[in-house]
Structure 1
Amino acid sequence: MKSIVRLKKVPANNPMTTHIIKLIVILFTVRIVLCVNQRPNIILILADDLRPTIGKYGDQLAFTPNLDRLIERSCYFTKAYSQQALCAPSRNSMLTSRRPDTLHLYDFYSYWRTFAGNFTTLPQYFKENGYYTYSVGKIFHPGVSSNFTDDYPFSWSEPTFHPSTERYMNQPVCPDGSGTLRTNLICPVKKFSQPEGTLPDIESKVEAKNFLAAFKNRSQPFFLAVGFHKPHIPFRIPDKYFKLYPQTKFGNSTNWRQYGVPDVAWNPYTDIRKRHDVKQLDIPFPYGPIPSAFGMSIKQAYYASVSYIDNLFGNLLSAVDLNNTIVVFASDHGWSLGEHGEWAKYSNFEVALRVPLVVYAPGITPRRIDNIVELVDLFPTLVDLVNLPPIAKCKRFSKKKLCTEGNSLLPLLKGLSARWPDQAFSQYPRPGPIPRKNSDKPRLPKIRIMGYTVRKTDFRYTIWMRFYPRNFSSDWSQIFGEELYDHRFDSAENENLVDRREFKRIRLELRSLLKKQFSFGASLGRPQRKKLSWREALLYEAYRPQILQPSYP
């Protein structure tokens, strides 16, 4: 007969039971702390309006020794793309890993948590997983689109830092030849002569270094985001950087509209037209052109601004312990320097969407990566790099708080021969089919056309169609223009091949791909305020100024 062993029940208030439970809790807590402390720090550095004007990216005019040195030790992506060539939509898309059509943000005037969905951000996820998060300078676009707080306290462990001298960006602080202060586009200055004796990006660099010094001996890992304003206009930087680039380096400025491109694809660069020195040129609206000599001055100022940022970047990096820190350098979008006769972002052209993306990670072998990637890929990539719980892919029209519409770049960083889609999707809105004064930055209620574009290995295809802002739907039966560029022979996108019979098959294939990606139905309905939990609502109300809700026609 089998013997039966009966276990004696131990009372819950037994001292031995209590000690065992305490020991288990202590061991579990220690394990969590050790895991957190072993994770590397992260520094995300963003430039504003920076195309890949960098020496190691092949630009022989650019003087960027500090970025070049980091690139030699890093993985750098030669074909990385923004999801929209405008600051707020691009930054919110990158930091939430959701596309502009998901966030319903194509301008500056809505906050995704209340307008589209209470989506988790990249710094928020790291904060929720034991990181101390801090933002310096321009990371989120300031204002309504980040709740006037840069999404604090959701994304950041403490209030964000903005340079006090930011407020002079659009003020008359640029001396002309007579010493009169103007609101110029091109603005070489002496630092000590400027208000408060400094400039915004210098202030941000100093603050970031102060943070690094304060955190030097702390065991908690940190996520530090630093946003530099340049080379965003105006080109107000120390005059010494202009001396690196004599105008003769640039020759005659490319400044013409290419044949066969629909008017809707074009932008009239209204922001630079508002500057005092540009106004004096009396440039015809909307197509210009800008005088060739002034175009060379713009190029000189842009390149000088890039070298200025490179110097600040190098100074900041000198304070970073690269043995336990991941460093990411990127931009929110590019900028046209006369290509297609344009001098701005605000388009679906390659020069407006392509950005530098550099990832330095201890233990990752440096390499050049030519696969096509997107800024929405950055969130899941950093999560995987530090071995946090992975993020699931979003299902179509998903309103989940945490998911990604991108792909982790970790397989590419590790050099694995994984299958990769090699495609990037972007978009840009227009108020109508021909350029007008609000074509560059139409507010949501005024958007009537959406341009969707896809970049594949050999081609870029763009289609402009009717868009309805009331329910964020597109009508594929109302087309206002198409573009097709063959990057094997025309990397500058100067010849639109959309009407060439020999390219009909590839045009239809890419159009089908775009329709699959962006075919949103009217069933999405009118935008509604999204419901927050009671805890989130308390935080939101405590830190929000009045939110401006878009009105609809």
Structure 2
Amino acid sequence: MNSFHVMLILLSFCQWGTVLAKNSTKLSVLFIMVDDLRATANKEVNLTHIARLARNSVTFTNAFAQQALCAPSRTSLLTGRRPDSLHLYDAHSYWREQVGNFVTLPQYFKSHGYKTFSVGKIFHPGISSNYTDDYPYSWSEQPYHPPTLKYKNAPVCPDRQLKKRKRNLVCPVHVDHQPGKTLPDLESLDYAVDILEDKALKKQPIFLAVGLQKPHIPLKFPKEFLKKVPFRKIIQPLQPNKPAGMPLVAWHPWVDVRRRDDIARLDIPMPMGIMPMEWTFRIKQSYFAAALYIDDIIGALLRRVDLKRFIVVITSDHGWSLGENGMWAKYSNSDFALKVPLIIHAPGYEPRLIDSPVELLDIFPTLVELAHLSHRKVPRCASLENVTDLCFDGKSLVRMMKGDTKPSAQYAISQYPRPSKIPQINSDEPKLKDIKIMGYSIRTKRFRYTEWIGFNSMTFKKMWHKNFGTELYDYALDPYETENVHLKPEYKSLKYKLQKQLRSRVV
């Protein structure tokens, strides 16, 4: 071997050493996505482990999903683009084929030397992620789905009344009596812990996304958590019926809840029937117990994480209504359906509460900046044509995290589709071809203004002149959205100001 070859080998070792050194200084990411966790859950029941992380993190108290439905919300977050930019309002299309080959959050980290892992539900499964959870674009390895997930809607819920197992909504269980003697989120926990404790992976940066299934329905969770939510402490909704001022198009019939065996037996009239109060209490108790179960799993994850080396994000794909205004589940532009927890822990950032409105699609540019992956300013997406450059419909939240008191925008935009102004069987989840109306909503610190307008699902044209309902809520005076004040004279100038802001932002 001549001296030239020796020099090449030494140079290669030096370059590889430099790469390792650079990798060792990169912060890893633990991204935790909880399914259907409403923002107020930690106030309604003590989520100890989430609260402990929040005390040492930046917590956004006014964070909102772009659409209160799993596939559009998750795809929006993971691409940094709005449902309108993705043309995705249901769960039946794949953005790379239908709109553009947009880069995703984990894909971008992967391209910067991270090993990326998906555990549980991160992308919505099915066609909206190409039946692969967007593998291999987004992930270094095949995404993991817990084997017992196949029993998600199986008749495994003990039913004392019928003395048999049913497909119930309320489903506290003995874990040892379940198929496989476990539950999906427990399996995801074990898989994620193995990744976090893998010594080989400690030598390189990782992006670990963990998607927890509960408190998504059915409310199936270890029975012991029910004892932590005393029935006597459950509070009934302030407004358990549809408010008189709510436009009919804003209402949804929560069909998936009605179809569960225990709720179906109640024979609640479609589409406007109201949940009996006894069952309102039962469902709320089980929802909070399921949230406590997930909080325990998050605590087990965080115990394996060195917070000096990790950025940690905890959020949800959207919220969940618990009988407020007679509505359940998501499927609306209500604060209860759109507002989510958002906690970001990043080494070097002081704990802080931020009440300016932010959006889930802000997470992508925020993590890019926190991880120092891109030092140039990432532009807003000017059009759908440019699919190669990294661009976002959202904004980085890092300035706010540093204490900037003058954020660039102080509102959040959300939307929800409807097939008709009259609630019907597919009002909750209309397919694209059936969408005739789109409800666009702007949320400031104090107000939410919504217009339900005509929408052409073939051309994606918005018809502002076709109005099917208008809503305006003042959260300072009415935090439960019990009074639609858009016709009150004292709100007239505010209404037109918000209308102008909404229409200029939704183009």
State the TM-score bracket (shorter-chain normalisation).
over 0.9
- 1:89 maps to 72
- 2:360 maps to 375
SS in 2 for 1:480: strand
- Give the distance between the partners of 2:473 and 2:115, measured in 1 at CA: 45
TM-aligned CA deviation for residue 189 of structure 1: 0.5
- 1:536 maps to none
Maintained 8 Å contact 2:399/2:407: no
Query: Structure 1: which 5+ residue stretches go unaligned?
Result: 1-13, 520-553
Maintained 8 Å contact 1:251/1:296: yes
- Give the distance between the partners of 1:437 and 1:364, measured in 2 at CA: 47
- Give the distance between the partners of 2:175 and 2:380, measured in 1 at CA: 47
**Structure 1 residues 440, 215: CA separation in 2 closer, same or farther (over 3 Å shift)?**
farther
Map of 1:12-23 to 2, 5 A cutoff?
A: none
Query: Structure 2: which 5+ residue stretches go unaligned?
Result: none
Maintained 8 Å contact 1:53/1:306: no
1:295 maps to which of 261, 264, 280 = 280
**Structure 1 residues 252, 334: CA separation in 2 closer, same or farther (over 3 Å shift)?**
closer
Establish whether residue 204 from structure 1 lines up as the match of residue 188 from structure 2: yes
1:232 maps to which of 216, 219, 236 = 216
SS in 2 for 1:371: coil
Maintained 8 Å contact 2:41/2:288: no
Establish whether residue 315 from structure 1 lines up as the match of residue 300 from structure 2: yes
Compute the RMSD of aligned alpha carbons: 1.8
TM-aligned CA deviation for residue 33 of structure 1: 3.3
TM-aligned CA deviation for residue 129 of structure 1: 0.2
TM-aligned CA deviation for residue 514 of structure 1: 1.4
- Give the distance between the partners of 1:207 and 1:37, measured in 2 at CA: 23
- 2:246 maps to 261
- Give the distance between the partners of 1:418 and 1:15, measured in 2 at CA: 60
- Give the distance between the partners of 1:495 and 1:418, measured in 2 at CA: 31
1:62 maps to which of 20, 45, 57 = 45
TM-aligned CA deviation for residue 394 of structure 1: 2.5
- 2:83 maps to 100
TM-aligned CA deviation for residue 171 of structure 1: 1.1
1:164 maps to which of 147, 152, 155 = 147
Maintained 8 Å contact 2:195/2:201: no
**Structure 1 residues 43, 251: CA separation in 2 closer, same or farther (over 3 Å shift)?**
closer
- Give the distance between the partners of 1:24 and 1:466, measured in 2 at CA: 64
TM-aligned CA deviation for residue 217 of structure 1: 5.5
**Which is worse superposed, 507-516 or 161-170?**
507-516
- Give the distance between the partners of 1:419 and 1:24, measured in 2 at CA: 47
Q: TM-score, normalised by structure 2?
A: 0.95
- 1:186 maps to 170
- Give the distance between the partners of 1:25 and 1:211, measured in 2 at CA: 29
Maintained 8 Å contact 1:200/1:229: yes
- Give the distance between the partners of 1:251 and 1:100, measured in 2 at CA: 35
TM-aligned CA deviation for residue 454 of structure 1: 0.3
- Give the distance between the partners of 1:115 and 1:294, measured in 2 at CA: 42
Q: How many residues align?
A: 501
- Give the distance between the partners of 1:500 and 1:208, measured in 2 at CA: 52
Maintained 8 Å contact 1:96/1:121: yes
TM-aligned CA deviation for residue 202 of structure 1: 0.5
Give the 4+ runs in structure 1 shifted more than 4 A: 18-29
- Give the distance between the partners of 2:235 and 2:30, measured in 1 at CA: 38
Write the letter of the residue equivalent to 2:385: K
- Give the distance between the partners of 1:161 and 1:151, measured in 2 at CA: 12
**Which is worse superposed, 382-391 or 224-233?**
382-391
**Which is worse superposed, 505-514 or 74-83?**
505-514
Maintained 8 Å contact 1:253/1:292: no
- 2:57 maps to 74
- Give the distance between the partners of 2:77 and 2:287, measured in 1 at CA: 24
Establish whether residue 397 from structure 1 lines up as the match of residue 383 from structure 2: yes
| CA deviation map 1:18-41 (0-9, x unaligned) | 988887776555434322220111
SS in 2 for 1:355: strand
**Structure 1 residues 291, 136: CA separation in 2 closer, same or farther (over 3 Å shift)?**
same
TM-aligned CA deviation for residue 315 of structure 1: 1.0
Largest Rg, 1 or 2? 1
SS in 2 for 1:160: coil
- 1:244 maps to 228
- 1:492 maps to 480
- Give the distance between the partners of 2:235 and 2:318, measured in 1 at CA: 25
- Give the distance between the partners of 1:167 and 1:431, measured in 2 at CA: 31
Write the letter of the residue equivalent to 1:115: Q
Maintained 8 Å contact 2:471/2:484: yes
Maintained 8 Å contact 1:466/1:479: yes
Write the letter of the residue equivalent to 1:393: P
Write the letter of the residue equivalent to 1:156: W
Map of 1:438-449 to 2, 5 A cutoff?
A: 438-449=426-437
**Which is worse superposed, 131-140 or 392-401?**
392-401
Establish whether residue 451 from structure 1 lines up as the match of residue 406 from structure 2: no
- Give the distance between the partners of 1:114 and 1:99, measured in 2 at CA: 17
TM-aligned CA deviation for residue 478 of structure 1: 0.6
Maintained 8 Å contact 1:253/1:293: no
- 1:35 maps to 22
**Structure 1 residues 35, 501: CA separation in 2 closer, same or farther (over 3 Å shift)?**
same
Maintained 8 Å contact 2:99/2:384: no
SS in 1 for 2:322: coil
- Give the distance between the partners of 2:503 and 2:41, measured in 1 at CA: 35
**% same residue:** 47
**Structure 1 residues 395, 209: CA separation in 2 closer, same or farther (over 3 Å shift)?**
closer
Maintained 8 Å contact 2:320/2:328: yes
1:273 maps to which of 233, 238, 258 = 258
- 2:124 maps to 141
**Which is worse superposed, 463-472 or 28-37?**
28-37
Maintained 8 Å contact 2:381/2:392: no
